[in-house]
Structure 1
């Protein structure tokens, strides 16, 4: 149990290059074309939160590996465009790259939430073919390429006002939600309430919701502990955010810079996974200092809860996109 539409490079070719990132090192520097190029980057929440950190990793790695020939330019976060609207903006070329939560593009790609399934590492998902299949569906259904997974390695939790010593706590409670959590909450008898991340604290403060679902990182950014003093364990799913890139923006780069971008993204993803785990542990200590209690369900309920979350995730995908569920689930389960 865990602790806590474009032309050009094919999806298979894109992922093959990602796996062979070492090629980029041999190509880099003198072979790079002259002239600075920029890719415009947006985050789904503002930069002063944990969700802005992956930009720093990616921008630094791109600068290092390209020798300054390629720049990732931060344009903004939810102050510029809502997180739910960002994937469409990437597909339409309004921006070039976005850091996005997988559930935020579930409207056009119901199977997007599959990225949260299980607790396998990114390397294990790549080896099983899960990431390649997911990326292929993303291109087909959203018209964007999967550049990487900048944050991973931690789960999701529910933070609530009352002590969730028993799973029955959720019956009748209103919980801030996104499509990823909706089926779980409904199965627990709770009432999902959808808000943007920026509105979550206000919803808690005004009593619109009794708690919220959130990745087990970034809970401190919005000071949810001021409204909700309990976090239920075990965590569930796996946080795997997505870097989406417009295929035309990628294909417009010289091949040398394409290779650099792929290598930089893979490197930044590894940094992000390590950082996320360390950040989670540090946040837990700070939250406990603020009076937050981490409450673990009884063992039998904990096991049932984790199984419930997986079944509800895949049940949701199967109900909305059965062919995609049949294609993806064996790959995620086998990772």
Structure 2
């Protein structure tokens, strides 16, 4: 064998070996979402998984195993903390028992970019670490707002007195302050509860489900309130399996580039939701003037007052300054 041929053979073996090592070093994180893969509201996480797997191909793969059929939504944060799963997409309010301040991210009318300009993500990363979780970042949906939907006619806020309204935990104080009776339940149980008269209405966004609720919804109240945003939680031990330099690149990519792109990608989906409400014949109960101002102010103040009961006063003040004031 000539020296040149020997050199080429050794070079080929070296390249094969390097590729094998690189492949062996790829880390897979198994993820579960609080929503089904096919749900419209999963749009942002789908974009996240696709982007991460493409950008960090050979270094990191996120294996999105599914949603509620894999694990009940309210158990996801605990499952991440104890290592049953590596990563979860969840609503901040779904793990408020573990991290009470997490719900603050919804109690705002700011965009993701406005929030990211503050120290909010860094501060909440510290808070989550204290509870055994790594907050990778947010899958934002700032343009997505929430409404109250009803089957029977409502004409204004006075009609809400005593009504049983399905909520997720973040919205509970607001609904309670309106004189209604809030009931916490998962999204998947809303239709049956409305159909059977267990609840009179529910709090929800208008994404992807409207055409399936035509026979149990006739009215909705505007203006909408809050903002949507979903937490990406990672088990600290699983996260530490990635090289430190890679962890930094992944987190920076999500927080400083990808999240803003996702936040700006909801417009068509939101427009479709409004069109579906119109096609279904839902009637808008539009609050105006002082009534609208009272409604939105109550949404913010009731929630932040309630949050003050569970969050350290200094942290509460920090978060409110970044999200509201």
TM interval, short-chain normalised = 0.7 to 0.9
Q: Which runs of 5+ in 2 are unaligned?
A: 1-18
Specify the alignment match of 1:12 in structure 2.
none
Q: Does 1:87 align with 2:77?
A: yes
Structure 1 SS opposite 2:265: helix
Q: Does 1:189 align with 2:179?
A: yes
Deviation at 1:123, TM superposition (A): 2.0
Structure 1 SS opposite 2:277: helix
Specify the alignment match of 2:45 in structure 1.
55
Deviation at 1:263, TM superposition (A): 4.5
**Pairing partner for 2:28 from 19, 32, 38:** 38
Q: Which runs of 5+ in 1 are unaligned?
A: 1-29
* Distance in structure 2 (CA, Å) of the matches to 1:282 and 1:194: 27
Specify the alignment match of 1:257 in structure 2.
246
**Pairing partner for 1:328 from 296, 315, 319:** 319
Closer, same or farther in 2 for the Cα pair 1:159/1:322, shift >3 Å?
same
**Pairing partner for 1:209 from 196, 199, 219:** 199
Deviation at 1:129, TM superposition (A): 1.4
Q: Does 1:229 align with 2:235?
A: no
Closer, same or farther in 2 for the Cα pair 1:128/1:246, shift >3 Å?
same
Specify the alignment match of 2:300 in structure 1.
310
Specify the alignment match of 1:19 in structure 2.
none
Closer, same or farther in 2 for the Cα pair 1:320/1:176, shift >3 Å?
same
Closer, same or farther in 2 for the Cα pair 1:78/1:100, shift >3 Å?
same
Closer, same or farther in 2 for the Cα pair 1:302/1:248, shift >3 Å?
same
Deviation at 1:81, TM superposition (A): 1.1
> Quick check: 248-257 or 89-98, which moved more?
248-257
Specify the alignment match of 2:3 in structure 1.
none
* Distance in structure 2 (CA, Å) of the matches to 1:288 and 1:295: 13
Bigger relative contact order (CA 8 A; separation at least 6): 1
Is residue 159–residue 232 contact of structure 1 (8 Å, CA) maintained in 2? yes
How well do the aligned residues superpose, as a CA RMSD in angstroms? Answer: 2.0
Q: How many residues align?
A: 302
Deviation at 1:52, TM superposition (A): 2.6
Deviation at 1:269, TM superposition (A): 2.2
Specify the alignment match of 2:133 in structure 1.
144
Deviation at 1:76, TM superposition (A): 1.7
* Distance in structure 2 (CA, Å) of the matches to 1:276 and 1:305: 25
Q: Does 1:241 align with 2:230?
A: yes
Q: Does 1:293 align with 2:298?
A: no
Is residue 109–residue 324 contact of structure 2 (8 Å, CA) maintained in 1? no
TM-score w.r.t. length of structure 1: 0.84
**Pairing partner for 1:134 from 97, 121, 124:** 124
Is residue 206–residue 273 contact of structure 2 (8 Å, CA) maintained in 1? no
Structure 1 SS opposite 2:229: coil
State the 4+ residue runs in structure 1 displaced beyond 6 angstroms. Answer: none
* Distance in structure 2 (CA, Å) of the matches to 1:325 and 1:217: 30
Specify the alignment match of 2:188 in structure 1.
198
Bigger Rg, which one: 2
* Distance in structure 2 (CA, Å) of the matches to 1:220 and 1:89: 31
Specify the alignment match of 2:8 in structure 1.
none
TM-score w.r.t. length of structure 2: 0.86
Is residue 184–residue 312 contact of structure 1 (8 Å, CA) maintained in 2? yes
